[in-house]
Structure 1
Amino acid sequence: MICEEPYEARDNGYHFFRYMCERQPQQKCYYAVKKESVDAKKVQKIGLTVEYGSIQHWLAYFLCAYNISSQKGGKPNPAMCAFMEMNGVFKPRNVFLQHGITKDMAEWLFADKCNFYFFITAAIPEHNMIKDYYGYKDGVARLTGFPRYDSLIPNQTNQNQILIMPTWRNWFNLKSKGSQDVKTPFGCSEYLKKWMELLNSKELDYLIINHNLKVVFFLHRNMQRYIEAFQGVNEKIVIASWKDYDIQELLLTSKLMITDYSSVFFDMVYMKKPVIFYQFDEEEYRKYQYQQGWFDYHSNAFGTSYSASEEVIEALSHEIENGYKVSERYLNEYSHIFAYSDRRNSRRIYELLDKEKSDM
């Protein structure tokens, strides 16, 4: 049983499902997705599907050899399933594919809050952090690489496109401890002010015109509800809706990424493309959302952190003039982060699951 978010088939779950249907057709796999999803037909063309949250989904959840998802709550009813699992009523073999490399201390993924049979990782230091500090038993964390990385081809885009992709903030979306201290209506928030400041800067407009640059602004899935607030930006910039644009395709066709703290920048690094970090609220982010883990934005080899929009535009201008080439330090660090770049991640996961199933 494989799934992601109820309405999506674009992440590690989808890519692993596609691998199973195309390369391991002898295995009976189902993908759970809402029939109203814009991705539903795409998945149905590949293999067997069930309606997310339906009776069929529940049956598959109870009977499957593995319940596989890119989401912690990838189950027919996340709350009910979590209650049953944590109280020993039912213990499925949950395989957590993740939807991004874990770089921070994410307490909601600690062993005492999860029931993972396998926790799939893609980066060497990430794997070590989860294995040593997240409280899992030996053998739960497995370094195989992500299924979606199998489709990432290193630096082969001809489009002069950059992707601006900020991540979410829990004080706009979730009830979390301490979030009330910084709670502000989105329309008056520093988040909106700072990103609008960058997008509407005359310097960015100059780069767009003089370098025939295409700029795509893609809000995190949790922030897409606020997309209307960005409609007043430079008309030359594409404000991308998640329903109309596939992140994987945007990553493949972009030469550079600007983000704040989104772990999706590792997808760009995997393809050996430059990244720039715009971090105007780092103190609040560390206090209210995630504490720093193994990755340090201020000493890494992949991109520089800036707090001012002017600095970000200056760095972007430099990258354009430099032909988006990455440094030797970047390339040297690459080998210390990724154990695999052979486009065989899905195969490794399948072989892991198949061997475990045979040994039961």
Structure 2
Amino acid sequence: MSSSKDIQSEEIIEQQLKTIKHPSFSIRKEGDTIMTTLSLSKEQTPSLKEFYILHRETGTRYPFLAEKTGESTYRFTVSIREFIRQNTSKNPKEHFEFYFVIQYLVNDEWIQKEEPLSLDLFDHFDSFGLSQFKDEDNNIYPYFSRKTHGFCFTVNVPVRSIRYIHASQINKVEIQKGHLHVAGELITTAIAINRVDTIMVGRKSGTQRTIHSNHQLNRLENGTHHYFYDYEIDVALDDFAKELFIDNIGDEDFDFYFEVYLNGLFDPTVVRIAHPQDLKSRKIYKDYAVAYGKWVYLFAPNFTEQYNGLTLAATKYAKEVYEYYREIQPFARLIKPFYTDRKIWIIGEKPMEARNNGWYYFRYLRETYPELDVYYVLDPDSPDYEKVCALGEDHVLPFKSKKYIRTLLMAQIILTSEAPYHIYPTRNPLWIDTIGAKRVLLQNNVLGLQPVKASLGFDTKQFETDLVLVSSKNEKRYAIETLDYPEQQVAITGLARFDTLLEEKEGALNTHQLLIFPTEQETGLHYQTEAIDRTAKRFLSLLDNPDFKRFSAERDLQVVVALPHAMLRYLSDFSALNCQVLLQEYVDVLQLVKESSIFITDSDPLAFDFSFLTKPVYFYQPEVALSDTTSPIAPREIYLNELPGEITSNEENLIYLLEQLGKPPFKLNRKNRKKADALIEYRDTQSNERIYAAVMKLLNSRNATT
């Protein structure tokens, strides 16, 4: 039996061995033969005993003798083609990992260790000819493990090459002399870059354009095996506008991506051009206009809300409206005092939308305070336009009209559920400085389930607000501690839609309906839909599971799937599985929530609303791997373990949890009811009135100081 002293001594030795880094290892591939060479440190007199390849699925070890080629240099050679033919079955889908067995002399005693052939154990790594290849019907993919950083290969299992992109950042965004200039840094791990193409993708149209860019190796860092590249992108906006005019493209947002061709990989690795670093907002947020005939494109760079990725907004104006805007804008502050008595309020979401908290609050003000000079910004082509006009057509501002420009410039306060630049004449977040209006963030949803610090945080350059509305003390703490807002800029009111959500009506419909509600995600190049595809396939598998079908049938549940726009291409797949399929963008989701009995989502914040009705919520597949990173983000980590529902990433476990519900009516259990209660301060129908009081307090405090 080992004494505590012996155990302590073993732990010290183990720590010492962990600090040893060997000089180098290299991999050379010629044809189907891989030759691996190691140069070992002389510390602790190491001796390499053997190499072996580990079959991950079966645990089988295939040993190879280590050939000593120098004082502390060893190598082994293996024919991958021959190895696969001898050790795999027909049509294999398997993983193999490279290991070595090494001995260290410590205190006159040989200590043996088995180590993965990992980048972490060596100061320097280089490779030659390392690439995926084909053997008869088999595809072989060499790669480095995400977990151990050890060298591996798969047979007929494609490997996501995004693992080799360590980081990227934007160091400069600037519009000068009709050109958009972008510069930054791209860092890869272990593998160098052959070529980089820059792609602009239209978010609505899906059109792709390859634009000019350069990249240059800055340095190679030993130990981390990182390649540091500087990149520069140049977009000639006049030429780009001509292309848009010719193709008759309307308002569009163009997201920027790199297609990175790494040494040895056939397909490009797609990387969002993202993560701005300490940029000067006055240089970033400049507009540039290009006129052509009766039309004008107004360009403005910005960053997406979910990934903080670079985007270029192209807003298409009738020339006479744009010229009106250019004429009146410089005099807005001079004219505005003459409009002070009107006290103009502007409300909006996105130009095509009136279905969330902006719409609910606008409706409340028109019905409760009809004397208020309040307006809603909406595109006349929006499917919601007629609904909003029913509350008074004079109080609707058609997006990009002269009335819209004039009224917006005279506004006293702007209230939005999204970042306010969505309803500005240009997407420039600094545009509001032109008029000096106060800004209120009505919110789309309860904060916390999705990371928003980069897009809505107090210190971000792309968003500013004077008041943030939240629903509980917990959410207020989140806004202050995580998003860094001063306490006086956060008010607990509840969301505008809560009055409708919590309203109790006689004869209200509460069906035996199970609602599956996948969250919306940003889409991009077709290579970047992996997270969306993975989520869709998980829900399809659930719906097709015999145990899930039995659960639904035994409880007489109608299964309804509300698909986000990102999963539109899966519409027929879901429809084939004996469930009702709806599109989130075309239904009244609040009514859907009120009618349903059970709510299943991956990470949609509407789950909070459902829990406030004390009905059971299930977070299925909560760990969402972002497309530009190897690190998953778990909602439970984002919201401090306060999610008011059951959390699982396993299909069988989800069905087990559902079966614990018993018979209808289904209710939130005591544990999750307590969590839901902590996320809503007022369980009543007075949220809109509290919002009105908070806004009036903001306006009165402003007047008191002017």
Q: Kindly provide the CA deviation profile for residues 124-164 of structure 1, in whole angstroms up to 9, marking residues without a partner as x.
A: 21111112332323421111100100111379643111211
Structural mapping, 1:268-347, within 5 Å: 268-279=610-621, 281-282=623-624, 284=626, 287=631, 295-296=639-640, 299-300=641-642, 302-319=644-661, 321=663, 323-347=665-689
Does residue 444 of structure 2 align to residue 99 of structure 1? yes
Cα pair 2:400 2:425 within 8 Å, conserved? no
- 2 CA distance for matches of 1:331 and 1:66? 37
Deviation at 1:288, TM superposition (A): 6.2
Cα pair 2:514 2:558 within 8 Å, conserved? yes
Q: Which protein, 1 or 2, shows the higher relative CO under an 8 Å CA cutoff with sep ≥ 6?
A: 1
* 280-289 or 107-116: bigger deviation: 280-289
Partner of 1:15: 360
**Does the C-alpha gap of structure 1 residues 341 and 185 become closer, same or farther in structure 2, counting only changes over 3 Å?**
closer
Cα pair 1:67 1:94 within 8 Å, conserved? yes
Match of 1:31 among 376, 381, 388: 376
Does residue 341 of structure 2 align to residue 6 of structure 1? no
Deviation at 1:273, TM superposition (A): 1.1
- 2 CA distance for matches of 1:167 and 1:186? 15
Cα pair 1:301 1:329 within 8 Å, conserved? no
Partner of 2:584: 242
Amino acid at match of 1:92: A
Match of 2:573 among 224, 228, 232: 232
- 2 CA distance for matches of 1:243 and 1:54? 25
- 2 CA distance for matches of 1:28 and 1:161? 41
Amino acid at match of 1:55: K
**Does the C-alpha gap of structure 1 residues 118 and 264 become closer, same or farther in structure 2, counting only changes over 3 Å?**
same
Structure 2 gap ranges (5+): 1-345
TM value normalised by structure 1: 0.85
Partner of 2:601: 259
Partner of 1:82: 429
Partner of 2:498: 149
Deviation at 1:322, TM superposition (A): 5.6
Cα pair 1:43 1:49 within 8 Å, conserved? yes
Instruction: Give secondary structure in 1 for the equivalent of 2:661.
Output: helix
Amino acid at match of 2:519: T
TM value normalised by structure 2: 0.45
The Cα RMSD (Å) is 2.8
Instruction: Give secondary structure in 1 for the equivalent of 2:619.
Output: strand
Amino acid at match of 1:270: F
- 1 CA distance for matches of 2:606 and 2:532? 27
Does residue 548 of structure 2 align to residue 201 of structure 1? no
- 2 CA distance for matches of 1:50 and 1:305? 43
Structure 1 gap ranges (5+): 175-179
Match of 2:475 among 120, 126, 131: 126
Cα pair 2:421 2:427 within 8 Å, conserved? no
Cα pair 2:518 2:602 within 8 Å, conserved? yes
* 249-258 or 90-99: bigger deviation: 90-99
**Does the C-alpha gap of structure 1 residues 188 and 12 become closer, same or farther in structure 2, counting only changes over 3 Å?**
closer
Amino acid at match of 1:310: E
Partner of 1:56: 403
Partner of 1:165: 517
Deviation at 1:53, TM superposition (A): 3.4
- 1 CA distance for matches of 2:495 and 2:637? 20
Greater fraction of residues in strand: 2
- 2 CA distance for matches of 1:78 and 1:189? 35
Instruction: Give secondary structure in 1 for the equivalent of 2:518.
Output: coil
Deviation at 1:281, TM superposition (A): 3.8
Identity in percent: 22
Larger radius of gyration: 2
- 1 CA distance for matches of 2:554 and 2:636? 38
- 1 CA distance for matches of 2:385 and 2:434? 32
Cα pair 2:531 2:624 within 8 Å, conserved? no
Deviation at 1:292, TM superposition (A): 6.2
Deviation at 1:293, TM superposition (A): 5.9
Does residue 482 of structure 2 align to residue 137 of structure 1? no
- 2 CA distance for matches of 1:46 and 1:159? 31
- 2 CA distance for matches of 1:100 and 1:246? 15
